[in-house]
Amino acid sequence: MDHLILASKSPRRREILDRIGIPYILCGSEIDESLGEGRNIRSAVMGISKRKAGAIAPRFSKGLVLGADTVVLCKGRVLGKPLNIETAEEYLRLLNGGGHQVLSGVTVMNSGSGVEYSAVSTTSVYFSEMTRDEIGWYLSLGEWFDKAGGYAIQGTASLFIDRIDGSYYNVMGLPVEQLFRLLKRFSYFRSAGEYSPVKKP
C-alpha cells in the first residue's frame, strides 16, 4: 500500500494527521501560493493544492502526495496570514460579530501514475461580538501569527466563536472528511467504513 506524503510545512496539518492516526512522510512544498487576481476562490485553492502535490510527486517513485491550501474569505476579501499585529487587528475587527467562510482545497496525487483527485471544503464561521479590550488581549497572546485570518480556532480564539457550519478541521487547515473520501478512491483503507489506515511499508 502506498504511503502518504504531506506536501506542506503547516504544523496544523501535521497535528491533524497525528490526531487521526494517519502515518505520513513530511516533504514541504515550495510554490507560489498567490490566488491570482479575479479568480474564483474555489478554483484557486484547488489549483494551489494541485500545484503543491505536483511539486513533490516527482521526487517519489511511489506514494500518495497530499497537497492542501486554506483561505479565509470575509465580505469578498481574502484574509491571508497577517505579517504584523496591525494587520491582525484589522482582520479581527472585520471578522468581529459576523460570519465568514473558510475554504480548503485538497488534492491527493499518486506519484507513480500521476492520477489525482481533488475537492474543496467550505465552512462558515461566526464570531460573537468582541470588545476592544478583548481584541487587544487576544492580539497580545501572539496566536494570530502565521494563521490565515489572524486567528486559531483550536486555540484561545475558540472563546469568541459563536458557531460553525461545516468541518471544524477545515478551519484548522485540513478537512479530514474530504481527505478520507479521496484516500478511499486510492484504496488506501482496507475496506469502506474501516477507519484504520494501512501502515506504511
Rounded to an integer, what distance in angstroms lies between the CA atom of residue 18 and that of residue 156? 21
Q: What is the pLDDT of residues 55-86, one digit of tens each?
A: 999 999 899 999 999 999 999 899 989 999 99
Point out the catalytic residue in the list 18, 32, 69, 162. Answer: 69
State which amino acid sits at residue 161.
I
Banded model confidence at residue 196, pLDDT cuts 50, 70, 90 = very low
Q: 4-185: which CATH number, 2.40.30.170, 3.40.50.300, 3.30.830.10, 3.90.950.10?
A: 3.90.950.10
Q: What is the pLDDT of residues 105-130, one digit of tens each?
A: 999 999 989 999 999 999 999 999 99
Q: 164 burial class (0-12, 13-18, 19+ CB within 10 angstroms)?
A: middle
Three-state secondary structure call for residue 57: helix
69 is catalytic: yes
Residues near 4 by Cβ (< 8 Å), separated by ≥ 6? Answer: 17, 22, 23, 24, 25, 63, 64, 66, 183, 188, 200
DSSP code of 145? T
Q: At what angle do helices 85-95 and 132-140 cross, to 10 degrees?
A: 140
**What residue ranges do the domains of the chain occupy?**
4-185
Tell me the whole-structure pTM to 2 decimals: 0.86
**HEC-encoded secondary structure of 58-127:** HHCCCCEEEEEEEEEEECCEEECCCCCHHHHHHHHHHHCCCEEEEEEEEEEEECCCCCEEEEEEEEEEEE
Average pLDDT over residues 159-183: 96
Rounded to an integer, what distance in angstroms lies between the CA atom of residue 102 and that of residue 135? 20
Residues near 193 by Cβ (< 8 Å), separated by ≥ 6? Answer: none
Rounded to an integer, what distance in angstroms lies between the CA atom of residue 154 and that of residue 197? 25
Highest-pLDDT range among 31-45, 132-146, 185-199: 132-146
C-alpha cell of residue 137? 488581549
Supply the pLDDT for residue 199.
41
Supply the pLDDT for residue 9.
85
Say yes or no to pLDDT of 200 above 70. no
